Amino acid sequence: MDHEDPHTHLATFYELVGTMGFQSGDLESVYMHLFPFSLAGKAKEWLISHPNQSLTK
């Protein structure tokens, strides 16, 4: 994760989700459901190490 830019990751993630045609009122829920699938490597391992629903806004 040290070599990755989280701002670029989020910008790319938002851009990708934006191409899927979801209604704007549903976007927060869509982001929460899809974001874990955007992670890989150490970031994914970190997320998996936390219990379900332990991370909030």
Residues 10-38: pLDDT tens digits?
999 999 999 999 988 889 999 999 999 99
Q: Is residue 17 part of a domain?
A: yes
Rounded CA-CA distance 28/22 in Å is 10
Rounded CA-CA distance 31/13 in Å is 9
Of the candidates 29, 5, 6, 2, the residue with the CA atom closest to the CA atom of residue 17: 29
Cβ contact 51:34 at 8 Å: no
Stretch 48-55: mean pLDDT: 86
Q: Is residue 36 part of a domain?
A: yes
pTM of the model: 0.77
Cβ contact 17:31 at 8 Å: yes
The pLDDT of residue 1: 47
For residue 26, which amino acid is it? D
Q: Is residue 1 part of a domain?
A: no
How many domains does one find in the chain? 1
